[in-house]
Amino acid sequence: MRPDELSDELAVLLVADLIDGGALRGRSEFEAVFTGVVRSTVDGALPAWLRFYRNSLALLESGAAAFAPVHARAQTLVAGNRVVDLGSCFGFFPLRLARHGFDVVATDLSGPAMHLLDLAAAALQRPVHTARCDAAAVPLPDHCADTVTALHLLEHLDDHTIDAALGEALRLARRRVVVAVPMEDRPRECYGHIQRFDLTRLQQLGARWCPEFPGLTATVDEFHGGWLILDL
């Protein structure tokens, strides 16, 4: 792989080919080889990851990446300026919002991921606040964000944690919670997916919270996966 080819899109495709061919098994092997692909393409850890970030963001923000429609739509659904993003991983969506002037907090259970995002945000001059935390226990006050986003997070969580994370998102949000999930025939273990979603299940998740928040409305639809929008 050439440095100009290094991105989240291509690295995932390369590793997925190895998994589909039976050469890799499970999430830990996927993550190890993914990191190896990034680190072996450009000399030096930080330069390699910064090239990865720049290339990945260019593809996402130009619409060329497979995940680009999800990010583009999620941005249009953000109400207000203050955003908390749950399960940010590399933080591509928070970085996108920062570019457009949003005040955004990225959160993830992985401390190294949040440290890497701090470095990337500084290098790219896109200010993003970060917090290492569980999506079900975010150390921020009630109603601190206009919108809380959870893009392709819930498929990684067990049933109890899904419930807790949605409750936490509703605690943090003043106006809206935006959830996006893949709609897979079978959860992809290599990506850490343990849940399968369809529109009916998303409707059930929304209906579960309406009695607890008077005035809450839940909207479900499909666009490059499933969406649940909770308006307070």
DSSP string, 32-92: HHHHHHHHHHSSSHHHHHHHHHHHHHHHHHHT-STTHHHHHHHHHH--SSEEEESS-TT-H
Architecture of domain 67-231: 3-Layer(aba) Sandwich (3.40)
Q: Provide the β-strand partners of residue 229.
A: 178, 219
pLDDT above 80 (res 155): yes
pLDDT mean over 8-15: 72
Q: Provide the β-strand partners of residue 217.
A: 231
CA distances from residue 42 to 65, 71, 89, 121, 141 in whole angstroms, order as listed:
21, 27, 21, 19, 41
pLDDT above 90 (res 178): yes
Give the separation between CA 126 and CA 132, rounded to whole angstroms. 19
State the pLDDT at residue 53: 97
Q: How confident is the model at residue 186 (pLDDT cuts 50, 70, 90)?
A: very high
Q: How would you list the strands of the sheet with 217-222, edge to edge?
A: 129-132, 103-108, 82-85, 145-151, 173-181, 226-231, 217-222
- CB atoms inside a 10 Å sphere around CB 74: 22
State the pLDDT at residue 220: 99
pLDDT above 70 (res 75): yes
Residue 219 φ/ψ, nearest 5 degrees? -120, 135
Which residues are within 8 A (CB) of 211 and not within 5 positions of it... i.e. 6 or more apart?
Answer: none
Q: What is the mean pLDDT of the chain?
A: 94
Give the separation between CA 151 and CA 84, rounded to whole angstroms. 11
State the pLDDT at residue 32: 81
More reliable by pLDDT, 36 or 54: 54
* 124 touches 162 (CB < 8 A): no
pLDDT above 80 (res 230): yes
State the pLDDT at residue 192: 85
More reliable by pLDDT, 179 or 189: 179
Q: How many residues belong to the chain?
A: 232
More reliable by pLDDT, 161 or 189: 161
Residue intervals in the chain for CATH 3.40.50.150: 67-231
State the pLDDT at residue 199: 98
Q: How confident is the model at residue 157 (pLDDT cuts 50, 70, 90)?
A: very high
Give the separation between CA 47 and CA 120, rounded to whole angstroms. 10
Q: How much is the pTM?
A: 0.94
pLDDT mean over 96-110: 98
